[in-house]
Structure 1
Amino acid sequence: MSTLLTLPVLLPMLGAALSIVGSRSAALQRVVGVVVLTAVAVLAGVLLVATDRGGPIVAELGGWPAPVGIALVADRLSALLLLVSTLVTLAVLVYAIDQRIADYGRATASTTFHPMYLMLCAGVSLAYLTGDLFTLFVAFELMLTASYVLITRRTGAKRIRAGMTYVTVSLMSSLLFLTAVAMVYAATGTVNLADLAGRVGDLPPGLQTVLAMMLLVVFGIKAAIVPLHFWLPDSYPNAPGPVAALFAGLLTKVSFYALLRTQTLLFPREEPWTLMLVLSVATMLVGVLGALAQNDLNRILSFLLVSHIGFLLFGLAVFDAAGASGATLYAAHHITVLATLFLVSGLITRRTGTVALDQMGGLLRDAPGLAVLFAIPALTLAGVPPTAGFVAKLALLQAGAGSSVAAQVVAGVVVLASLLTLYALVRVWVRVFWGEPVPPLPDDDPSDEVVVGTARSAVPMYAATGGLVAASLAIAVFAGPLAAVTDRAGVDLLDREPYRVAVLGVQEGR
């Protein structure tokens, strides 16, 4: 089983290499991408079942035992998020392949898209499975290097500006991350997470606070926590449609996973984290109020993405097993629903030729299926019963209700932000789907992704989007068993011992 742990990282890398070698064959690149991601999804499912039944699984690379060597570690939390993330990347890849065929009619292969897409997936897998801080840094750099290429493909003036912002902020956060890793190593003599869990507690309280804040800032930038969120609403709306969906579904959640893993494992707390409660409130409200002020569909979704990162932060801030469980369940839902909404946005702009709400209308009459594809994830994101969003938010509210008075107040903000999210999405619905149909706008910018009036079928694009909608419905249908898994994952996160024993083979204090 430990050998299987390396495959979610190795297979996408090998697939990327094969895509480069076979760059003259579009069919080969497409088949390699779909097959590799399908295999990774199957492996993630196997790992989830195995870790839920038998606890964490560890692979010691090169035969060097931890904490000296590099260890890959899968537990319930990482295996679940890896499975959901891989399913989303597979659906987005199918969408992207058909968009290229349907809208651009290209029979030739892309020399950059498929290799970079698979390398980004390898980075995501490595980030979920790594057991030490430096390899986590390598995973983020792998993701970011691939994302630099993906976000600047088919460049236009606006996309270049957005790409510059994204690259600049990412490089700054990477520099801070490397500095934080160096500080941790200088203070403790190790970067292995399980080993750090036993050493950080021996450091002076002031130094512990500095290290915790350094990691909070690093992952806060990458996760778009207010006030470190400014880069996201300017970057994601200008990315190519499938790329924006991939980024919205994965990158911020991988960063939140890193924050959740490091803070619970290295800096345990007995009480709710007041600073994180404040940040969660600011992130929820600034994000949703920003969404209400927008006329651009993709910017609305980007601000809502920021807002709902605040819900994840609330689960972490409660800092007990129930809060960690609620945050894990919400992350699984959030990965799926945000990617779905960005894919639907791509289908809407494909029909209308614009992302401006005041230039749309009447799509309910012309495209009722598209209206359904938007309505279900919109209601899910708002948390309307009995959707997956409602189940996940209920878990967060229950965690907050059983915690401190401050956490109970923030639970009220969760309800308020959910209502404002519903209002923002109803506003989109009214502008886009109700009223009289508006003639499509011409494609004034040939470098843009928007192509209007194509004669080719886009059935796989709709099928991929529908598959993600079905996945979000499945989360609601199987909420009971899934919540049981996240409950056990939350207990493990706060206990820390199962993780340490699996990696080091020793109990704390021995």
Structure 2
Amino acid sequence: MTETLTPFVAALLPLMPFLIPLPVILPAVAAALALLSGRHPNLQRAIALGTLTALIVLTASMVVVVDLEGIQTVQLGGWDAPVGITLVADRLSAVMLTVSSVVLFCVMWYAISQGIRDGGKDEPVAVFLPTYLLLSMGVNMSFLAGDLFNLYVGFEVFLVASYVLLTLGASPARVRAGVSYVMVSMVSSMIFLFGLAMVYAAVGTVNLAQIGMRMEDVPTGTRAAIFGTLLVAFGIKAAVFPLDAWLPDSYPTAPSLVTAVFAGLLTKVGVYSIIRMRSVVFTDGSLDGLFMWVALATMLVGILGAMAQNDIKRLLSFTLVSHIGYMIFGIALGSAQGLSGAIFYAVHHILVQTALFLVVGLIERQAGTSSLRRLGSLAYSAPVIAVLYFIPAINLGGIPPFSGFLGKIILLEAGANEGGFMSWLLIGGAVVTSLLTLYVMVLVWSKGFWRDRKDAPEGNVAMARPAPLADITDEVEFVERDDVGRMPVGMVASTATLIAASLVVTMLAGPIAGVTGRAAESAQDVNIYRSAVLGTTADNPGRTVDQQRLDDGSDTLRNRDHMLPEPQPAIEEDQP
């Protein structure tokens, strides 16, 4: 297989300095073009779909190149690292870019097929596609950023776009949820900015590779305080316990397709940032014990919250929180195997969780509600939706041989190999969480699909009269809408494509686990990342250019980076 790909990689390798910035540049340019073409919906849709299709091809190619040739970097702004803007494509970032591109494409296809509306029947939302493309740009920028400042910029770009998408339609419930989401996100951003300032005050740089080198000389207490501050910022975005209370109240009020992309991607950007900080900057593992307790609480609190829900959207929002705990579990182990399991599980969860939220959108379209108190008989009235729900549901529940089961096995094996009381406690918590996840997925199936609708407590409400707009659901009023029960082919096809992608992860679990394993190993070896970002010398590949210049007595580097005085000429003494 490697020999077959060698000519392809050889052709792409010289182009990598030009290809790496494209996941950021293409969505930005496409967003501007889509906004300008707002009066021509077909052209706007062609621009959006064409851009995301190109991103899938581009990012998949990047995975092949970086897996065979190692980390690829590009320096922007006319300055070399660590002064300039560095974009880094390694196995971890390339894998996350590819999966996110697939999800972004499928959700956009779903949205275009559904027809996004701005409160009126005949007026499509002209700003949806440009905003969605800006969201794509921010996510991609976060994955590629090689310094803290541009990671912060990427976060802010996709957060600003998410504010618009969350309140799409401007219903009272969405505006209330949007205000809460904006306030929480602003607090998170302020904490991130404060942490960034602490980092610069401590080490004098924002380049991740150089921060990691200099952070080794920072006192342990100061280093832990800085890491803790950044973890709070990233933990809010990743929705880990106890920073997760905002998510179940914010996500269910948005349209299902918006909730899908939020659930699939935005929380994983927070997880990705935690992985990057732990593996590149704060490598001593001083907070791994805290990570373990956070992972355990996140898994159990999230799934217990899901068991108490009667609305499928809120139920899935709680399961989303719960399964973030599996990824934190892998990070907390501090081993390459644990990190590999976390990355593999993130890939699985992005695809499966997004697909489930898209299925909820189909349910709302078919039945007029996502409340389990009003649903029933969907297995008979909508067998296609039943199949589309069943496959990702049992995947999320961890039934073998699906990718959810395989990801959990990797994490459990890593925990067993690590040993210790907390590792075994986490293994027990992970098993319990998996069983309870399967329980709630089967509960949705039995109530929403298998039970006769007339046996539901409110099964006649949506059929007999229009239901009022609830705070936590996207109710469909039958009197005002004539498209209930009629699903466009594109909505079904896009959902099926995403489910098929999750099945590909199952069928190609070996090669994918190999890539995530190599990604974890290279992430664990900080010298690989630092040498790739800061540069290496021909005679000593293990030392960075900064280190070599320092050894050679470079006055410029010595003065700039280490604030040492210029060497003075030696004073020759008279010889007797």
TM-score class, shorter-chain normalisation, is over 0.9
- Higher deviation after alignment, 268-277 or 351-360: 268-277
Report the CA distance shift for 1:410/1:457 in structure 2 as closer, same or farther (over 3 A): closer
Residue 327 of structure 2 is matched in structure 1 by 312
Query: What amino acid is aligned across from residue 227 of structure 1 in structure 2?
Result: P
Q: Indicate which of 141, 146, 171 corresponds to 1:156.
A: 171
Task: Map 1:100-115; keep pairs closer than 5 Å.
Answer: 100=115, 109-115=124-130
Q: Indicate which of 261, 276, 288 corresponds to 1:261.
A: 276
Separation (CA, whole Å) in 2 of partners of 1:23 and 1:138: 26
* 8 A contact 1:29–1:109 mirrored in 2: no
* Secondary structure in structure 1 of the residue aligned to 2:418: coil
Whether 2:430 is the aligned partner of 1:414: answer: yes
Whether 2:524 is the aligned partner of 1:502: answer: no
Separation (CA, whole Å) in 1 of partners of 2:114 and 2:280: 42
* 8 A contact 2:341–2:411 mirrored in 1: yes
Q: Indicate which of 404, 419, 422 corresponds to 1:404.
A: 419
- Unaligned 5+ segments in structure 2 are 1-15, 454-458, 537-541, 548-576
Separation (CA, whole Å) in 1 of partners of 2:285 and 2:249: 38
Q: Indicate which of 347, 353, 359 corresponds to 2:362.
A: 347
Report the CA distance shift for 1:217/1:508 in structure 2 as closer, same or farther (over 3 A): farther
The CA deviation string for residues 339-370 of structure 1, in whole angstroms up to 9 with x for no partner, is 00100011111122122101111100111111
Q: Indicate which of 343, 357, 374 corresponds to 2:389.
A: 374
Report the CA distance shift for 1:206/1:271 in structure 2 as closer, same or farther (over 3 A): closer
Separation (CA, whole Å) in 2 of partners of 1:66 and 1:106: 52
* 8 A contact 1:102–1:457 mirrored in 2: no
Separation (CA, whole Å) in 1 of partners of 2:258 and 2:389: 19
Residue 11 of structure 2 is matched in structure 1 by none
Q: Indicate which of 503, 508, 518 corresponds to 1:488.
A: 518
Separation (CA, whole Å) in 1 of partners of 2:402 and 2:86: 37
1:62: Cα distance to partner? Answer: 2.0
Residue 509 of structure 2 is matched in structure 1 by 479
1:280: Cα distance to partner? Answer: 0.3
1:158: Cα distance to partner? Answer: 1.2
Q: Indicate which of 430, 435, 460 corresponds to 2:446.
A: 430
1:57: Cα distance to partner? Answer: 0.7
Separation (CA, whole Å) in 2 of partners of 1:217 and 1:303: 20
Separation (CA, whole Å) in 2 of partners of 1:121 and 1:68: 26
1:137: Cα distance to partner? Answer: 0.3
1:468: Cα distance to partner? Answer: 0.7
Separation (CA, whole Å) in 2 of partners of 1:309 and 1:248: 11
Whether 2:233 is the aligned partner of 1:218: answer: yes
Query: What amino acid is aligned across from residue 311 of structure 1 in structure 2?
Result: Y
The CA deviation string for residues 145-183 of structure 1, in whole angstroms up to 9 with x for no partner, is 000000011011211111111000000000000110011
Separation (CA, whole Å) in 1 of partners of 2:116 and 2:161: 22
Residue 328 of structure 1 is matched in structure 2 by 343
Residue 176 of structure 1 is matched in structure 2 by 191
- Higher deviation after alignment, 227-236 or 262-271: 262-271
Separation (CA, whole Å) in 1 of partners of 2:334 and 2:306: 29
* 8 A contact 1:233–1:302 mirrored in 2: yes
Whether 2:139 is the aligned partner of 1:139: answer: no
Separation (CA, whole Å) in 2 of partners of 1:259 and 1:82: 16
Query: What amino acid is aligned across from residue 336 of structure 1 in structure 2?
Result: L
Residue 495 of structure 2 is matched in structure 1 by 465
* 8 A contact 1:16–1:115 mirrored in 2: yes
Report the count of equivalent residues.
510
The CA deviation string for residues 226-278 of structure 1, in whole angstroms up to 9 with x for no partner, is 00001000000001111000100000001100111011111113688111000
Q: Root-mean-square deviation (CA), in Å?
A: 1.9
1:409: Cα distance to partner? Answer: 2.0
Separation (CA, whole Å) in 2 of partners of 1:155 and 1:110: 12
1:404: Cα distance to partner? Answer: 2.7
- Unaligned 5+ segments in structure 1 are none
* Secondary structure in structure 2 of the residue aligned to 1:90: helix
Report the CA distance shift for 1:43/1:107 in structure 2 as closer, same or farther (over 3 A): farther
* Secondary structure in structure 2 of the residue aligned to 1:77: helix
Separation (CA, whole Å) in 1 of partners of 2:120 and 2:231: 45
Query: What amino acid is aligned across from residue 382 of structure 2 in structure 1?
Result: A
Aligned-pair identity (%): 48
* Secondary structure in structure 2 of the residue aligned to 1:203: coil
Separation (CA, whole Å) in 1 of partners of 2:358 and 2:378: 16
1:397: Cα distance to partner? Answer: 0.7
Query: What amino acid is aligned across from residue 432 of structure 1 in structure 2?
Result: G
* Secondary structure in structure 2 of the residue aligned to 1:3: helix
Residue 257 of structure 2 is matched in structure 1 by 242
Q: Indicate which of 38, 48, 60 corresponds to 2:75.
A: 60
Query: What amino acid is aligned across from residue 511 of structure 2 in structure 1?
Result: P
Residue 4 of structure 2 is matched in structure 1 by none
Query: What amino acid is aligned across from residue 349 of structure 1 in structure 2?
Result: E
Report the CA distance shift for 1:301/1:479 in structure 2 as closer, same or farther (over 3 A): same
The CA deviation string for residues 439-491 of structure 1, in whole angstroms up to 9 with x for no partner, is 54435449985445517541110000000110110000000000000110010
